[in-house]
């Protein structure tokens, strides 16, 4: 048993260096510039409302006597989603109105003639559903950042809507198509709210002005200010990548080689002690199978005064005894409890003898011994005739 304790001490000696040399989990960081960031389908939606002014361009618009007469109001409602920090889509409905002039007396939206050049005023309104694709240029070229307060968004799309003259029934209106594009200056005033300044250009077919259409006519330029509210998850989780951490060796090469050598020596010594322990158990089993007299118990477990609990050291002894008993399942044993007569009353010592025997019995069963191989007993005679302190014990003997 002393050899077993030596093995445990050697193990403790080498645990500390091995623990210090153990590797740790690699550190990681979130890097918003790495990879494609995507959230769930119901995240990163928003609704926006904006309004502003529009300016319509047709072939005769330069003949207005006052530029401000060409300005008309417009309102837009949009519902959109950002699929990534860079790409998004939106659908919406715009109300637009336009003031322009034409030389055609039968032009759509014709009203009163202006005071010169035989030109006529056009005033009309429209409702136009549309769909747009959006690109966040700041996130595209600068990478996504949770702390960014400004984004510049470019978009393009198309619409198909219905327009009617200001002085005529809505039922007399016309359908027209629109190709559109623009810029949104988005200021993130909070996690949920953006303030937007939007500049837009729309190209219509010729049905509104009824003038010949070319690249520079039937256009509408708009400037709007609006507010957007974002739903659910409003940010993006960046990919987790290994952190670049400088590797600083804890030991020099010579120190590392020395630790490896010491560890190898410890492993060799542990193997030797394991072999010795196996040999000791075999010897103990052989000894237990031999004949014993009452004066030569198989094994003795000692207790502290007035105690029946097995201490840590004796638990190792009981475990080794259990291994030996299990190696010979056909032999039965008796566990006998003793108590010294120099201390305690007779009644107390009687209970103490029973408790000590039962404590050893329970420990053997716990370590795997078949209960059918064991019985318990007590003995009032002294176990040691020369030192009563050694009577504070329990013995394990083969049953004859």
d(CA 172, CA 205) in angstroms, rounded, equals 18
Inside any domain, residue 279: no
pLDDT at 3 over 50: no
Q: What is the CATH number of the domain that holds 318?
A: 3.30.1330.60
Cβ contacts of 329 within 8 Å, gap of 6 or more? 370, 373
Q: Give the residue-averaged pLDDT of 293-309.
A: 76
pLDDT tens digits for 33-71? 545 677 788 889 999 999 999 988 776 666 666 777 778
Q: Do 193 and 304 share a domain, yes or no? A: no
pLDDT tens digits for 210-253? 555 555 567 889 999 999 999 888 887 765 556 665 667 777 78
pLDDT at 111 over 80: no
pLDDT value of residue 23: 47
Q: Do 213 and 298 share a domain, yes or no? A: no
Give the whole-number percent of the chain exceeding pLDDT 90.
38
Least confident of 3-17, 132-146, 156-170, 277-291: 3-17
The domain boundary residue, chosen from 211, 240, 269: 240
Q: Do 316 and 390 share a domain, yes or no? A: yes
Inside any domain, residue 285: no
Number of domains in the chain: 2
Higher local confidence (pLDDT), 219 or 131: 131
Inside any domain, residue 77: yes
**Which residue range(s) make up the domain with 393?**
291-398
Residues 90, 177, 49, 191, Cα dihedral to 10°: 20
pLDDT at 168 over 50: yes
pLDDT value of residue 10: 47
Q: Do 194 and 297 share a domain, yes or no? A: no
pLDDT band at 107; cut points 50, 70, 90: low
Is pTM beyond 0.75 here? no
pLDDT band at 1; cut points 50, 70, 90: very low
Give the whole-number percent of the chain exceeding pLDDT 70.
74
Q: Give the residue-averaged pLDDT of 8-32.
A: 49
- Contact indicator for 325, 371 with CB cutoff of 8 Å: no
Higher local confidence (pLDDT), 22 or 133: 133
The domain boundary residue, chosen from 206, 223, 240: 240
- Picking from 298, 66, 74, 256, the residue whose alpha carbon sits closest to that of residue 178 is 74
Q: Give me the residues paired with residue 59 across strands.
A: none
Inside any domain, residue 253: no
Neighbours of 97 (CB within 10 A): 19
Q: Do 205 and 131 share a domain, yes or no? A: yes
Q: Give the residue-averaged pLDDT of 130-136.
A: 95
d(CA 315, CA 318) in angstroms, rounded, equals 5
Inside any domain, residue 171: yes
- CA 261-266-271 angle, 5° bins: 130
d(CA 59, CA 165) in angstroms, rounded, equals 19
Q: Do 44 and 125 share a domain, yes or no? A: yes
Cβ contacts of 158 within 8 Å, gap of 6 or more? 130, 131, 177, 178, 179, 180
- Picking from 145, 143, 103, 95, the residue whose alpha carbon sits closest to that of residue 121 is 103
Q: What is the CATH number of the domain that holds 118?
A: 2.40.160.20
d(CA 338, CA 303) in angstroms, rounded, equals 10
Q: Do 96 and 213 share a domain, yes or no? A: yes
Q: Do 151 and 62 share a domain, yes or no? A: yes
Inside any domain, residue 297: yes
Higher local confidence (pLDDT), 280 or 381: 381
Q: Do 116 and 175 share a domain, yes or no? A: yes
Joined together, the tokens standing for residue 132 give: 């747009």
Inside any domain, residue 199: yes
Q: Do 209 and 116 share a domain, yes or no? A: yes
Inside any domain, residue 262: no
d(CA 334, CA 260) in angstroms, rounded, equals 49
Q: Do 68 and 205 share a domain, yes or no? A: yes
pLDDT tens digits for 325-354? 999 899 999 999 999 988 889 999 999 999
> Looking up tokens 């039937």, which residue turns up?
218
Q: Do 232 and 368 share a domain, yes or no? A: no
């Amino acid at each position: 048993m002393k050899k077993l304790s030596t093995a445990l001490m050697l193990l403790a000696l080498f645990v500390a260096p091995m623990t210090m040399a153990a590797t740790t989990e690699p550190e990681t960081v979130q890097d918003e510039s790495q990879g494609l960031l995507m959230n769930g389908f119901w995240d990163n939606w928003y609704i926006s409302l904006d309004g502003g002014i529009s300016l319509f361009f047709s072939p005769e618009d330069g003949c207005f006597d006052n530029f401000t007469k060409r300005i008309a109001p417009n309102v837009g409602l949009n519902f959109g989603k950002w699929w990534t920090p860079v790409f998004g889509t939106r659908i919406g409905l715009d109300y637009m109105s336009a003031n322009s002039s034409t030389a055609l007396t039968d032009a759509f939206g014709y009203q009163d003639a202006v005071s010169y050049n035989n030109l006529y005023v056009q005033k009309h309104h429209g409702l136009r559903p549309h769909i747009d694709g959006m690109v966040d240029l700041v996130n595209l070229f600068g990478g996504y950042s949770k702390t960014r307060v400004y984004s510049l968004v470019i978009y393009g799309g198309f619409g198909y809507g219905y327009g009617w003259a200001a002085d005529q029934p809505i039922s007399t209106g016309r359908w027209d198509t629109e190709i559109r594009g623009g810029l949104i200056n988005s200021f993130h005033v909070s996690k949920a709210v953006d303030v937007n300044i939007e500049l837009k250009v729309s190209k219509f077919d010729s049905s509104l002005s009824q003038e010949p259409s070319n690249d520079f006519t039937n256009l509408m330029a708009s400037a709007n200010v609006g507010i957007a509210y974002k739903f659910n998850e409003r940010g993006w989780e960046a990919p987790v990548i290994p952190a670049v951490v400088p590797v600083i060796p804890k030991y020099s090469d010579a120190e590392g080689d020395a630790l490896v050598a010491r560890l190898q020596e410890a492993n060799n010594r542990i193997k030797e002690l394991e072999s010795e322990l196996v040999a000791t158990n075999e010897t103990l089993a052989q000894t237990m199978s031999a004949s014993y007299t009452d004066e030569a118990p198989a094994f003795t477990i000692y207790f502290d005064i007035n105690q029946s609990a097995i201490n840590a050291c004796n638990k190792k002894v009981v475990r080794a005894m259990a291994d030996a008993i299990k190696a010979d399942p056909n032999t039965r044993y008796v566990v006998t409890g003793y108590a010294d007569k120099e201390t305690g009353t007779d009644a107390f010592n009687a209970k103490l003898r029973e408790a000590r025997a039962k404590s050893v019995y329970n420990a053997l069963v716990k370590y795997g011994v078949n209960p059918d191989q064991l019985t318990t007993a007590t003995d009032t005679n002294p176990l040691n005739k020369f030192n009563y302190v050694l009577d504070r014990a329990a013995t394990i003997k083969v049953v004859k």
